[in-house]
Structure 1
Amino acid sequence: MEIVIRSTPDEVASTVADIVERSVRAGPTTLGLATGSSPLGSYRELIRRHHDDGLDFSSARVFLLDEYVGLPKSHEQSYFSVIRSEFVDRVDLDPDRLHGLDGRAHDLAAEAARYDAAIAAAGGIDVQLLGIGSDGHIGFNEPGSSLTSRTRIKTLTEQTRLDNASFFGSVDDVPHHVLTQGLGTIGEARHLVLVAVGAGKADAIAAAVEGPLTAFCPASVLQLHRHATVVVDEAAAGRLALADYYRYALRHKPTWQQF
């Protein structure tokens, strides 16, 4: 696991965009995209590079991390709609190459199995972007999730529902259930990129990076991954005991070694 500490959220966004751009320019790529506040700056930077630098997403394929149960894809707060408005519709990515879970599927277990099979049939995910919740969740794998879990239905904690209430107007309107890629599914991506900014994520980042490997902090599963990059600003790095070492290692990173 590599920990990259940047001075500002804009520098975090640029670093993450560099990773995605490298994958896109290398040829047809499959991206795993997350919603939420953490990756927004990276999406804005990628949109800028598309318009200003000609970054071409036309051959890319996208799979989403999760979806609310009960919301149609057309709902403004469905993650399918959110990722379209925040990113896909603002670059040249073919909407037919955007894949999400159907939160209104009649058989949710079958929908989850279909989704895992679709990711496998696409050759797996090359770069998976991840945010992190204040309780250490990634995707919607809440504390207590199996570290080898597959895509499935999960019940949101009340804290997660409260965290998302601002998007809906009221916590009463936030669904109680989601379909989410499991930690085992996420771990099959070739490169995991976890993004966090702000002091509110500092405890979760410290637990994920330097705490024990435990289902109590689902993001700690990144410690097992062969290629995981954690990109944070100074505020989100505020509780890291080895922050000075991470900065030192980054300064002395070999020029040939990529993130």
Structure 2
Amino acid sequence: MYKILDTEDEVSRYAAQRLLATIAARPEAVLGLATGGTMEPVYARLVGRLQGGAVDASRLTTFNLDEYIGLAPTHPQSYRHYMERHLFARLGLPRENVHLPDGLAEDSEAACRAYSEAIRALGGLDLQLLGIGSNGHIGFNEPHTRFSCRTHVTPLSAQTRRDNGRFFSDPGEVPTHAITLGIRDILEAREIVLVATGPSKARIMAELYHSPVDEALPASALKQHPNVTILLDREAAALIPLRGQTLQPA
């Protein structure tokens, strides 16, 4: 289902509410989380509601989508650091309940297997929050990643490294590889919410809207899932054919 809201603020409010509803319905929920600029207002909204006592998050378990290979958890551009700053530290979540791939693991393949197995051992993800890259990646599943993949080490495309270079003082410091949750793991979540905002996402969202299910466009795998919300603001939806206030398949 596509849902279009007017502004980024409305999108972040709606996405935070979906997370809250999941936690309220199942206090021991297992959430799949994402990083990036799109998620910052979502987490700000979520923190505000949780700190206000909207629901109890003390039994929540989280698994993040990805982490750079070679960055320590304290590195300012690691995703562990991002999550601590925007969510974990602000909520005081128990350390044992929050999980990210280990970008410093000596045996990265074993670490990948253990990550997918840990999610399955808890019964899978109740809700997976996603962003989307300009080349259609979800997590760091780059174009032509097999949809059957579980957590794995992936080389980052030149496009992804250019896009993420803005977060580094020297774009040349962007890591060349990452560990990412696999598309198979993502599709096993009971609910998926993909969030895209701003004019820079308009082209890829139009491409996704028109695309068949194709490994050349990783996000198209979501069309196989029975419970997906693709949440956009008007700028991100600008190139998609709108009919009234809803989106119908082309």
Q: If the TM-score is normalised by the length of the shorter chain, which range does it land in?
A: over 0.9
1:1-259 correspondence runs (5 A): 2-27=1-26, 28-241=28-241, 243-244=242-243, 247=246
Distance 1:183 1:245, change over 3 A: farther
Q: Would the aligned equivalents of 2:32 and 2:65 in 1 still touch at CA under 8 Å?
A: yes
* Secondary structure, counterpart of 1:247 in structure 2: coil
For 2:157 and 2:35, how far apart are their aligned partners in 1? 18
Give the deviation of 1:134 after TM superposition: 0.8
Give the deviation of 1:213 after TM superposition: 1.1
For 2:148 and 2:37, how far apart are their aligned partners in 1? 26
Letter in 2 for 1:90: R
Distance 1:245 1:216, change over 3 A: farther
Give the deviation of 1:223 after TM superposition: 0.3
What does the per-residue CA deviation read over 1:171-203, in whole Å, with 9 as the maximum and x for residues that have no partner? 111100000011111111110100000111112
For 1:222 and 1:104, how far apart are their aligned partners in 2? 30
For 2:245 and 2:160, how far apart are their aligned partners in 1? 30
Q: Would the aligned equivalents of 2:2 and 2:247 in 1 still touch at CA under 8 Å?
A: no
* Secondary structure, counterpart of 1:4 in structure 2: strand
For 1:51 and 1:179, how far apart are their aligned partners in 2? 31
Letter in 1 for 2:55: L
Stretches of structure 1 lacking an aligned partner (at least 5 in a row)? 250-259
TM-score (norm 1): 0.91
Q: Would the aligned equivalents of 2:3 and 2:247 in 1 still touch at CA under 8 Å?
A: no
Range moving further from structure 2, 203-212 or 111-120:
203-212
Distance 1:244 1:92, change over 3 A: farther
For 1:43 and 1:175, how far apart are their aligned partners in 2? 25
* Secondary structure, counterpart of 1:93 in structure 2: coil
TM-score (norm 2): 0.95
What does the per-residue CA deviation read over 1:91-117, in whole Å, with 9 as the maximum and x for residues that have no partner? 242222101111111111111101010
For 1:209 and 1:39, how far apart are their aligned partners in 2? 21
For 1:64 and 1:134, how far apart are their aligned partners in 2? 20
Letter in 2 for 1:11: E
Range moving further from structure 2, 206-215 or 230-239:
206-215
Identity %: 39
Q: Would the aligned equivalents of 1:208 and 1:222 in 2 still touch at CA under 8 Å?
A: no
Letter in 1 for 2:16: A
Give the deviation of 1:245 after TM superposition: 5.4
> Across the two proteins, how many residue pairs are aligned to each other?
247
